Chain A
């Protein structure tokens, strides 16, 4: 544990000086500020912000995480030549990389909200948005680390990262829509519900939308979603799924890291 803390400490002091984190934070600051200033309805602004968060955070976490591992292979080698076990190094590198990305998002969004004159404590949707942003950062950085360690070839690793992002954020929704449309004659609500549980971005979106109580506008499916995710079983199941999306890539990444030849 002491070793992990040390590695995180050095990673943080390195990453926080990187220009990318500042740009990333400034992006959210500007975005939040503009959305809350130009949109009078706070809820609408938060909804727009969420739509961008759902696209940008997984993409940035994947690209940043994958590139980080590839660019740091020599450095990882150097650290591994010290009396350090691989598990501590992996966890330290992972946290040292995901904490700055999550903080960049948090800082930008919070400052943007405060500068717009809103209190984020009164506004539950912004808090939910921040929690979702955090969860997505940790999930997608874990996936990025696993991919970059699994594939030695940088081009292939980056390609896989982008494909995963495309699949989960664009293609998946298309497939779900196709499913709903194609089988519209059948009672497939439960299947759609199950399918939504499998995608962390969909799960994040559902959490957020349910908070707005706009699910009533989504007809029977919306009501069913509301009933399921509003129930304790639904909440536990969806949190468990989010947790699995975080734990499984970490374990797979750790396994690959343990076996990898540097």
Chain B
């Protein structure tokens, strides 16, 4: 379980996270949604230690992770846009990460296959298309069998086959009891994948609960409409 306790973060004048307290459940897929600049990526980066909070604490299984790094062995992360050393081949990058993690790659051809990465293995990163870089990034996030999987816009830039296969794979990981966090701007995707939803506006949590509760409480049929309503209400200052 990942726990946030009164987390605060400012970037210069911008107050990006305002007193964030939350719990992310294992065995569930939690989606973080919110308008651009609402603090979604900052929350993810705080878990990864990429962003250092000004105050508050983050705990994984009741242990604080601030200023620690070994806990990341249990995390697989797929960023919004991935970047690898330009002159290395796909295979070399995979080996590099395995080496850095001190991990042995469990030769899981199914993951390479479902992402259709086999033809790309000997290509240099600079010759890879954006979509294929994303596939490599998804591969790296999942291959080490981490307990926590964090996916920032996982299907953006992927072709429909890879996207559908990846979603299938994410659902399989959930059944294994993994803690999964994802962000997406595609509401249908969130409806399809997520159990819980964390809705952020302007660095504050405005909803933290199950997806179906959010839809029910809004009186709408679709998540997209429910989210849109909530954003409008919030903009008008009527949402509590």
Contact = CB atoms under 8 A, between A and B. Distances in A.
A85 B11 contact: no
A78 B100 contact: no
A262 B50 contact: yes
A72 B51 CA distance: 17
A17 interface: yes
Given A74-B79, A85-B69, A80 B49 contact: yes
A78 B52 contact: no
Contact of B77 (A14, A17, A81): A81
B99 interface: yes
Interface string B83-110: 1111110001000110111100000000
B100 A81 contact: no
A17 B125 CA distance: 13
Nearest to A18: B87
Nearest to B71: A83
Interface of A: 3, 6-7, 10-11, 13-15, 17-18, 72-75, 77-86, 259, 261-262
10 contacts: A13-B87, A13-B88, A14-B88, A72-B85, A73-B83, A77-B50, A83-B73, A83-B100, A85-B69, A262-B51
B235 interface: no
Given A81-B72, A84-B100, A10 B50 contact: no
Contacts of B77: 81
A121 to B, nearest CB: 34
B81 interface: yes
B71 A74 contact: no
A15 B52 CA distance: 30
B49 A75 contact: no
A74 B83 contact: yes
Given A7-B100, A82-B72, A259-B52, 19 more contacts: A3-B100, A13-B87, A14-B86, A14-B88, A73-B83, A74-B81, A75-B84, A75-B85, A77-B50, A80-B48, A80-B49, A81-B48, A83-B72, A83-B73, A84-B72, A84-B100, A261-B50, A261-B52, A262-B45
Central interface residue in A18, A79, A84, A261, by most chain B CB within 10 Å: A261
A19 B102 CA distance: 31
A182 B50 CA distance: 52
Contacts of B87: 13-15, 17-18
B228 interface: no
Contacts of B11: 261
B132 to A, nearest CB: 16
A81 B50 contact: yes
B50, B51, B82 interface centre (most CB from chain A within 10 Å): B50
Given A13-B88, A14-B86, A14-B88, A83 B81 contact: no
Nearest to B100: A82
A78 B72 contact: no
A258 B97 CA distance: 21
A145 B11 CA distance: 22
Q: Which of B51, B71, B72, B100 has the most CB of A within 10 A?
A: B100
Contacts of A10: 85, 88, 96, 99
Contact of B50 (A15, A17, A80): A80
Nearest to A85: B69
A78 B82 contact: yes
Nearest to B96: A10
B24 interface: no
Contact of A6 (B48, B69, B100): B100
A14 B85 contact: yes
A78 B77 CA distance: 8
A261 B50 CA distance: 6
A78 B101 CA distance: 12
Interface string B48-78: 1111100000000000000001111101010
Contacts of A85: 69
A101 to B, nearest CB: 16
A78 B79 contact: yes
A253 B22 CA distance: 34
Nearest to A73: B83
A14 B88 CA distance: 6
A11 B45 CA distance: 24
Contacts of A17: 87
Given A74-B81, A81-B50, A261-B11, A13 B92 contact: yes
B17 to A, nearest CB: 12
